[in-house]
Amino acid sequence: MESYFHWFDLLGIAVFAISGTLAAWRNQMDGFGVIVLASVTAIGGGTLRDLILNAPVIWINNNSYFYAIFIAAIGTILLVRNRLTIPHNTLQFFDALGLAFFVIMGTQKALDYGTSTMVAILLGTMSGVCGGMIRDVLCREVPMVFRGELYAVTCIFGGVVYTGLLALGVSQLPAMLAGMVALLLLRLAAIKWQLTIPVFSKHHNELNEP
Amino acid sequence: MESYFHWFDLLGIAVFAISGTLAAWRNQMDGFGVIVLASVTAIGGGTLRDLILNAPVIWINNNSYFYAIFIAAIGTILLVRNRLTIPHNTLQFFDALGLAFFVIMGTQKALDYGTSTMVAILLGTMSGVCGGMIRDVLCREVPMVFRGELYAVTCIFGGVVYTGLLALGVSQLPAMLAGMVALLLLRLAAIKWQLTIPVFSKHHNELNEP
Amino acid sequence: MESYFHWFDLLGIAVFAISGTLAAWRNQMDGFGVIVLASVTAIGGGTLRDLILNAPVIWINNNSYFYAIFIAAIGTILLVRNRLTIPHNTLQFFDALGLAFFVIMGTQKALDYGTSTMVAILLGTMSGVCGGMIRDVLCREVPMVFRGELYAVTCIFGGVVYTGLLALGVSQLPAMLAGMVALLLLRLAAIKWQLTIPVFSKHHNELNEP
C-alpha cells in the first residue's frame, strides 16, 4: 500500500520539477534559479496541503523528494541543452501529468486525515494547482489555472471520479488509477480542443468598464 | 456567542468572494478561474491566520464556508451578466466590508489563542489584507494595500478601537460592532477623499535614482 | 547561548526591514505600505520556516521583532527623506547582510528540530530567501533570487560551511559566524563581479522557441 503511494508522490514531484525547469528555461533564467523554480513547482502544492492538514510536511523527514527534483531538473537541463527545440506543448503535458498524480494523492491524504469528501477534493486540487501557481507568479506570468481550458475543473472532476469510485466500493489502487487517467484525459482534451467554460465573455464587449 | 461569530465569518467570506469574482470579471477570466479567485480572496487571509496560530484551519471541518463562496460567486456572476454596468467603486466597497468583518474577527480569534494585543491586531490585519493581496498578485495588479488610501492603517485603527473598548470593559458584541463600523467608515472616507499618509513623496522628484 | 541567537534574529529582522523599506521607496509607495513591505520582507521567510517545522511562529509571543521592524523602517524613512541620494547598491548590501543572518539562524533552528542536514540547509535558504521573494512579488519585480549572481548558491554555500564546521567539531558560535561571513563574502563578490552559473544561456539564441 504505502509503497505505491510513495512512488506516485515521487513521480508527481519529478514531473512538476520538469515543468518548473522548463518554465525557468522559457524565462531565460540562469544558474540555480532553475533549482529554485523546479523545487517550488514540485513541493509548493503538497507543502501547502500538509500545512493546512497540520500534517508533517511531506519532505521534512525524507530526502528522496529532493533527489527526485535534482535528477529531474538536471535531466531536463541536459535534454534542453542538447536538443535545439522542444515541442511547444511539452510544458503543458508535464504539468497535466503532475496534476493527475498530485490531485488524487492529495485527495487521498486529506481523506486519511478525516476531512469531508468536499474538503478532500478541494485540498487535492490545491495540491495540484498551487505549486504551478507559485511558479507562474514568480515568473510573472498569468497563472496557468486562469488561462482557461478547464484547469480547475479537471482537478475537481478527477477528485469526484476517485471519491465516487471509492464510495461505490472500488478498492483504492484501481480507483486512484481511474481518477488519475480520467483527470489526465480531460485535461489533455481541454488543451487539444481549447475547451473553456465561458462565464462573463458574452457581455464583455458591451460593458463600459473593463 | 458562538453563533454570531459564525455568521460574521460567513458574511466576511461572502463579501470577499464577491470581491474576488468582480476581480475575475475585470480581468476577463472565464470558467472556474472565477471560483479559484473567489475562494482565494475569501479564505486566503483566514487560512494564513489559522496556520500562524496553529489553530485548525477555519474551513477544514466546515463546508458552510464553501456554500457561502459558491452562492456569492454565482449570485455575482448572474448580476454582472444581467446588468450592463456596475458602479465603479463596487469592488472597493465590498472589499472594505469584508475587511471590517475579517480584521475584527481575526483580532478576536488571536486573543482567544492568547497572543498579546499587538500581535492580535497584526493577525487581524493579516486576516483582512492577505486574501486580497493574493487576489491582486494572481491578477498581476499592484496589491490594493499599496494603492494608498490608508488601507493598512484602517485595519490597525479598527483593531485598536475594538481592543480598546474591550480594555474599557465594553462587552464583546458591541465592541466588535463598534470596531467594524469604525474601520468601515474610515476606509470609505479614505476612498472618498483619497486620504493618504505621504512618506517619501516630497523628495521624489528631486532624487537622482528612481 | 539563547541570548546571541535572539540578537542575531533581531539584526536579521532589522536589515530585512530596511531592505523592504528601501523597496517601498523605490516603488514610490506612500503611508503604511512601507510598514507592510518592511514587515513582509522581515518576517516572511522565518514565518514560513516555522510553519514547516511546526514550531511556534517566531514573533507570536515576542513583540521585540515588531519594535525592530518599526525602528528600522522609521530610521530608513528619516534617512531617505534627509539625504537626496542613496548609493545604488545599498538595497543589495542590506539584503546580503539579512541573508547571512537568516540562512545560518534558520539552518540552526531546523537542526534543533531534528531535520537532516540537507533539509536544514534548505530551510535555512528558505528563511533567507522567501521574505525577499514575497517583497519582490508584491512590488511586481522579478525576484532577486532569479536575477543571477549566485543568490541561492550563496545560501547553500553558507549552510554547507556552517554544518561542515559543526561536523568537524567546531563549537556553535564560531561556526555560525564563519558561516555568516562566508555567505556574505561570496554574495558580495557575486554582486561585484556579477558571477553567474550559466545553465541554458549558450543555446538561447539558436532556439526557435523563447
Tens-digit pLDDT profile for residues C150-201: 777 889 999 999 999 999 999 998 999 999 999 999 988 888 887 776 655 5
The predicted pLDDT at position B15 comes to 86
Are B203 and C33 inside 8 Å of each other by CB?
no
Which of C158, C142, C164, C157 has its CA nearest to residue C197? C157
pLDDT band for C207, please (50, 70, 90 cuts).
Answer: very low
Greater model confidence, C200 or C29: C29
pLDDT of residue B204: 44
> Is residue B111 scored above 90 in pLDDT?
yes
Looking at residue B152, its pLDDT comes to 79
Long-range contacts of A37-41, Cβ-Cβ distance < 8 Å, separation of 24 or more: A37/A135, A37/A138, A37/A139, A37/C146, A38/A69, A38/A72, A38/A73, A39/A66, A39/A69, A40/A131, A40/A134, A40/A135, A40/A138, A41/A16, A41/A17, A41/A131, A41/A132, A41/A134, A41/A135
Indicate if the pLDDT at residue B206 is higher than 60: no
What is the pLDDT, as a whole number, of residue C25? 82
What mean pLDDT is predicted for residues B100-120?
A: 92
**In this predicted model, what pLDDT tens digit does every residue of C99-139 receive, in sequence order?**
898 999 999 999 999 999 999 999 999 998 898 889 888 88
Taking CB atoms within 8 Å and a gap of at least 24, the contacts of A90-96 are A90/A22, A91/A19, A91/A22, A91/A23, A91/A26, A92/A144, A92/A191, A93/A188, A94/A15, A94/A16, A94/A18, A94/A19, A94/A22, A95/A15, A95/A16, A95/A19, A95/A132, A95/A144, A96/A184, A96/A187, A96/A188, A96/A191
Q: Which of A140-154, A163-177, B171-185, C61-75 has the lowest mean pLDDT?
A: A140-154
Q: What is the mean pLDDT of chain B?
A: 83
pLDDT of B1 above 80:
no
Burial of A194 (0-12, 13-18, 19+ CB in 10 A): exposed
Contacts of A85 in chain C (CB under 8 A): 207-209
Model pLDDT for residues B124-149, shown as the tens digit of each residue:
999 988 988 898 888 887 777 776 66
pLDDT tens series, chain A, 210 aa: 566 777 777 888 888 898 888 888 878 776 667 888 899 899 999 999 999 999 999 899 888 888 999 999 888 888 887 765 666 677 678 778 888 989 999 999 999 999 999 999 999 999 988 988 898 888 888 777 776 667 778 899 999 999 999 999 999 989 999 999 999 999 888 888 877 766 555 444 444 443
Min Cα separation A113/chain C (Å): 17
> The C-alpha cell of A52 is what?
493546512
Chain A interface residues (partner C, CB cutoff 8 A)? 24-37, 47, 51, 54, 56-57, 59-61, 63, 66, 77, 80-81, 84-86, 88, 137-138, 140
pLDDT of residue A49: 94
pLDDT at B207: 42
Chain A / chain C CB contacts < 8 angstroms? 89
CA distance B11 to chain C (A): 26
